[in-house]
Structure 1
Amino acid sequence: MADEEVVNGGTEDSEEKSQKKSAKHDSGAADLERVTDYAEEKEISTQDVSGAISLIGDQRNKQAAEKIAREKELLKVSIKKEDVDLIVREMEISRTKAERTLREHHGNVVKALVALTN
């Protein structure tokens, strides 16, 4: 019986060793799998970020173009020098602000003065 235990014990030991070796091998594969998953996630997130940045850039360009178009439209509005002088004198504001307010209200002095007082 003692001989059987040694044989059985030896068989069990070799099975445990082979299981430990395969476990080490499997853990290495699992580590490798995590690294590749991380790399794939990183690539995806980089694409998302670059897409978001380009979207923001497009929105800024659109807003800048709208602002320039608005400024060109305001420059087309004709205003009288006397009206600008009146607003500057009465409201005690800068000439540029008076001109802009008057242009925004299409040269209407009364509407410009009301807007400045409100």
Structure 2
Amino acid sequence: MRILVTGGAGFIGSHYVRTLLAGGYPGYEDAHVTVLDKLTYAGNRDNIPLGHPRLTLVEGDVCDLPLLREVLPGHDAVVHFAAESHVDRSLAAAAEFVRTNVGGTQTLLEACVATG
């Protein structure tokens, strides 16, 4: 099983990734995990176990359709955590929140359909 986790270096996504790799979800103990994260203010390499043999990190944007179409093939599932999450930042940069949270989700779904 190969799982793509968007936003997997963020607060919630990294908890999911660490738990998954530690065997915390029955049936997924051997899953290989690809984390796709833009590594902005919300994502941090230190949040995930980079040396783990079943983990791959791809630094990239969930709004990047060509990248998603390159990364998605071979994955069995997608867990989508990528989002702009700090509300106080949304007041100063609302368009970036819409771009990532709405446009990124739409782009990810489009890439999933295109790659099967």
Normalising by structure 1, what TM-score? 0.19
Greater radius of gyration (CA) = 1
Choose between structure 1 and 2: higher strand proportion: 2
Report which structure shows greater RCO (CA 8 Å, sep ≥6): 2
Bigger proportion of residues as helix: 1
